[in-house]
Structure 1
Amino acid sequence: MQKRTAALSLTLAVSALLPAALPAQATAGSSGSYATKTPYAPQQNMRSYQHAPKGFVPVFTENVSRHGSRAASDSEDGDLILALWEKARSEGQLTRDGERFGGETKSLLAAMDAIGYGQLSGRGVREIQDTAARLEKRLPGLFERIVENSEQINVVNSGKDRAVDSGNLFAEALAENDPALAPLITPARTDADLLYFHKSAGGAEYRDYVENDERLATTLDTITNQTASHTAARDVLKKIFKPAFVERIAAGEFESIATEVEAAQAVYALYSIAPAMADEGDWNMKRYIAPRDARWFAYLSDAEDFYEKGPGFEDSDITYRMANVLLDDFFTKIDAKRNGTSDAGAELRFTHAEEIIPLAALMGLPGSTKAVSEAEPYTYADNPWRGESVASMATNIQWDLFRKGNRYLVRMLYNEKQTAFKKGCEPVAKGSYFYDVDELKQCLGRTAP
């Protein structure tokens, strides 16, 4: 009885909060509707960066980057919706737009199959190469120093192809822009414990939470299965199938599809991956999903990521605690540089959304500061967390280390935008984006006050 009461309370809370969320997003046009599949864009012009305090020069840089835009992980969504499409076609149950849908979907799937499911697309390649070029332009003095002192440029990846390829492309772009860097780039190494921690030994407790936590399952089921989801789903499907066929989907007639929401989510999955595949073809998946409905399904995708990888429930840190291994590594590399035990000028890491999202929550980066209670769930109306800004394709977090004598300062860039560290971390001056290393270690819990 208590479980049913809790579920009912959650349903009422979501219903009360969610309808107000969508109109606020309407002015964004088609933006804000691709969630973590959003292609990458730098968030600041490099000419507008704050200068380092007088006398400080860059001596080291390190980052962690999500891989670039890619094909879908597999063909499951396309196969699922195409099976329905074939059935509807055989019965004359397609709309005029629906008649186009099968061909466009098959073409998109063929393009993804050609480059390899889960592999970088042409757009993803350019995202990584362009980010590397801008890094060099931002810190010309650092790379001159690296060449002059024959310092190493280290590349580390998760071991997954798209992260391996992203790291190699990044390094190659650095060397192409300055051939003197080529011999200084060390062979890429794989560290799954560091850059695929959600699937490593350190993520065992986390995996149990995702697979078995009843509160998580109840919350996500309630959010996904509310009336607004079913309404949006029917709107999407009616662009492809005639109303009678949509009613049959909703009634559960087809074994491959549990609900009309599941069918519409498959359409949304194709819609959201299409921009990442823009170099491989001209996909007009927008015709099959209205902007309002696309934003709704982006919300459902964001809700899952928020609870499974992001700030999550306010009484638990299970979703981001394991990211400490990555934050620790940032400080370890800085300490080695300060102590003179490292000859590296750059440490470049390449990983996945499953690592970027919890790291952002752990660090309290913008948009990742607000967890929720069980009674007041995550909504767009009252929580700033958005997959498109927290972990778009090729999202990156970069720390630059500056030195003057024996003093070291750090500047952080988040998607190439100078970004303040979380509340409680004091910069060297009011309004500054530069922080003393020891101050950062204290405020981020790496040393005692």
Structure 2
Amino acid sequence: MKNLRTTALLIALSIPFFGKAQKCNYNYLGTKTLYAAPSGKNKSAPVGYQPVFINHVGRHGARHLTKEVNTSFGYRLIMRADSVNGLTSAGKKLKQMILALDKVERGQVKSISAEGKDELQGIGQRMYKWYPQVFGSTPKLNVAITKEVRTKQSADAFLIGLKAGFKEEPKIKEYNDDTDLRFYDASPAYVAFEENGNWQADMKQLQNRLNHVRMYNKIADDWLNKAFMKTLKPDEAEKLVSDVFGFATIVPSLKTEIEKAGVKPSEVDFDNLIGCSDLISLSRIDMLDDYLKKGPGSDVNGIQVRIAVPLLVNFINTTDDFIKSGQVNADLRFAHAETISPFATLLGISGADKVAPDMTNVGETWWSSQVIPLSSNIQWVFYRKDGGNDLLVKVLLNEKEAKITGMDNRNYPYYPWAALRALYMAKLSKLNVGLNDDMVKYLKEVK
């Protein structure tokens, strides 16, 4: 994760959008960045060691919007403006784009897209290709999902890719695990933090530097005539622009669906109605919001990280179960960006666990597009030597070998499991958490 800013800029240059490069040499898609299969080779395991078990958690794939276009504030405001002749020529273009996106999205919200299915199938295929020894003749898999349909769809797509290499149908135990995978919903202290936490001071500092109120009004002024602009309430320009920015960032996930709907790419090219400099500013605000509420923020031991403790406990316990019984080949979980980011921080994954020295320029330290793109994932891959008992483990972030803060990295990326487990047990001990504790109770009481 060295030089994250340079890496993200290079990635931005290479991300295709319907066959053309993004017009900005900057990845403004943030958490809606399409998943990129890793390039390059992983380091070979020490001589004699073979992969024997995988512990995995992944975010759902590229998706549709989470609510219908015609229920959004942006839709309602633009239609209201149109009804009183309040749209500029650019505003009329925006109206047509919103209607086109509404046509594409109608009835498909909350689901993963065709792009998302491809992402997850690819990750599953590579898991089998790289670690076939893990799965044996009749693979046994635990598959955990959340209450959201897109995690079930993601699990199904992943398994299609994984099972393509199997000779026999696997035995699969599928179950819902919102406690370990949607912990952010189950903690009253975190919900309060998310709504009114100390992150607000850092956000206000960046917003002031970007002169955000003027920016939102300037963008909205391109779409709404002066008379209608005067009727807006103080926060309505911001709500409108935020919705349109959300439309702009979801479009790359919908290539197949847009084509099937008979819509041309130019008919949903929202970013051309915002402009590159403003897209960059909006993405900086968006990324800082993710960083403060889902990532290291100003405190790597803050509530936004400590809520991920149940998932760490689950990873350790399921690994211990494998060591005792060896009955399951892989534990596979499918969840959300709000799951992956705090877990990556809690694990001490380099590039995902550092407090930024300057919150107005968090991109020097952390990028949402690198940590939690669509289909982002964390894997623990365990290795054992024939006839031996000692386990080695490597940690992967988005299928790339990761360094762990606090570990001896001389044999990176292969860590003795006993040493890594001890590191994480020490973290849990500092939080007064045991492996047999009630995690529902923990989430209710954690402060």
Question: What TM-score do the two structures reach when normalised by structure 2?
Answer: 0.82
Aligned mates of 1:236, 1:441 — CA distance in 2:
51
Aligned mates of 2:300, 2:270 — CA distance in 1:
40
Verify the 8 A CA contact 2:69 2:105 in the aligned structure 1.
no
Q: Aligned letter for 1:329?
A: N
The reply to whether residue 197 of structure 1 matches residue 183 of structure 2 is: yes
Shift of 1:271: 0.7
Shift of 1:315: 7.8
Aligned mates of 1:151, 1:195 — CA distance in 2:
24
Aligned mates of 1:212, 1:83 — CA distance in 2:
27
Aligned mates of 1:436, 1:275 — CA distance in 2:
41
Q: Give the equivalent residue in structure 2 for 1:169.
A: 157
Verify the 8 A CA contact 2:341 2:371 in the aligned structure 1.
yes
Verify the 8 A CA contact 1:42 1:417 in the aligned structure 2.
no
Q: Give the equivalent residue in structure 1 for 2:293.
A: 308
Shift of 1:318: 0.7
Shift of 1:227: 5.0
Give the 3-state SS of the residue equivalent to 2:107 in structure 1.
helix
Give the 3-state SS of the residue equivalent to 1:188 in structure 2.
strand
1:411 is matched with which residue: 394, 400, 410? 394
Aligned mates of 1:397, 1:276 — CA distance in 2:
22
Question: What TM-score do the two structures reach when normalised by structure 1?
Answer: 0.82
Aligned mates of 1:306, 1:50 — CA distance in 2:
30
Give the 3-state SS of the residue equivalent to 2:223 in structure 1.
coil
Structure 1 residues 289-438: aligned runs within 5 Å: 289-314=274-299, 316-339=301-324, 341-371=325-355, 378-380=359-361, 383-404=364-385, 405-422=388-405, 424-427=406-409, 429-430=410-411, 432-438=412-418
Shift of 1:216: 3.2
Aligned mates of 2:52, 2:119 — CA distance in 1:
25
1:180 is matched with which residue: 163, 167, 173? 167
Verify the 8 A CA contact 1:235 1:293 in the aligned structure 2.
no
Give the 3-state SS of the residue equivalent to 1:308 in structure 2.
helix
Verify the 8 A CA contact 2:395 2:403 in the aligned structure 1.
yes
Give the 3-state SS of the residue equivalent to 2:311 in structure 1.
helix
Could you tell which deviates more after superposition, 294-303 or 283-292? Answer: 283-292
Verify the 8 A CA contact 2:355 2:365 in the aligned structure 1.
no
Cα 1:383/1:31, change in 2 over 3 Å: closer
Query: Which segments of structure 1 move beyond 4 Å, counting only runs of 4 or more?
Result: 24-28, 90-93
Q: Give the equivalent residue in structure 2 for 1:140.
A: 132
Q: Give the equivalent residue in structure 2 for 1:10.
A: none
Aligned mates of 1:433, 1:205 — CA distance in 2:
35
1:127 is matched with which residue: 114, 119, 137? 119
Verify the 8 A CA contact 2:300 2:345 in the aligned structure 1.
no
Q: Give the equivalent residue in structure 2 for 1:264.
A: 241
Q: Give the equivalent residue in structure 1 for 2:219.
A: 236
Verify the 8 A CA contact 1:40 1:392 in the aligned structure 2.
yes
Could you tell which deviates more after superposition, 150-159 or 434-443? Answer: 150-159
Q: Aligned letter for 1:421?
A: I
Q: Give the equivalent residue in structure 2 for 1:68.
A: 61
Shift of 1:287: 1.3
Unaligned runs of 5+ in 2: 14-23, 259-264, 430-447
Shift of 1:351: 0.6
Verify the 8 A CA contact 2:69 2:101 in the aligned structure 1.
no
Cα 1:361/1:82, change in 2 over 3 Å: same
RMSD over aligned Cα atoms: 2.7
Shift of 1:325: 1.4
Verify the 8 A CA contact 2:248 2:270 in the aligned structure 1.
yes
Cα displacement string for residues 377-418 of structure 1 (whole angstroms, at most 9, x for unaligned residues)? 622267422211111110011111100111210112211112
Verify the 8 A CA contact 1:78 1:266 in the aligned structure 2.
no
Structure 1 residues 72-151: aligned runs within 5 Å: 72-75=65-68, 79-115=72-108, 117-143=109-135, 146-147=136-137, 150-151=138-139
Give the 3-state SS of the residue equivalent to 1:394 in structure 2.
coil
2:271 is matched with which residue: 254, 264, 286? 286
Q: Give the equivalent residue in structure 2 for 1:440.
A: 420
Cα 1:337/1:381, change in 2 over 3 Å: closer
Give the 3-state SS of the residue equivalent to 1:137 in structure 2.
helix
- Quote the sequence identity (%): 24
Shift of 1:185: 3.3
1:36 is matched with which residue: 17, 20, 31? 31
Q: Give the equivalent residue in structure 2 for 1:12.
A: none
Q: Aligned letter for 1:136?
A: Y
Aligned mates of 1:79, 1:104 — CA distance in 2:
14
Q: Give the equivalent residue in structure 1 for 2:148.
A: 160
Cα 1:187/1:54, change in 2 over 3 Å: same
Cα 1:79/1:338, change in 2 over 3 Å: closer
2:203 is matched with which residue: 214, 220, 244? 220
Verify the 8 A CA contact 1:168 1:188 in the aligned structure 2.
no
Aligned mates of 1:186, 1:163 — CA distance in 2:
16
Give the 3-state SS of the residue equivalent to 2:125 in structure 1.
helix
Verify the 8 A CA contact 1:57 1:402 in the aligned structure 2.
yes
Cα 1:191/1:173, change in 2 over 3 Å: same
Give the 3-state SS of the residue equivalent to 1:326 in structure 2.
helix
Cα 1:318/1:61, change in 2 over 3 Å: same
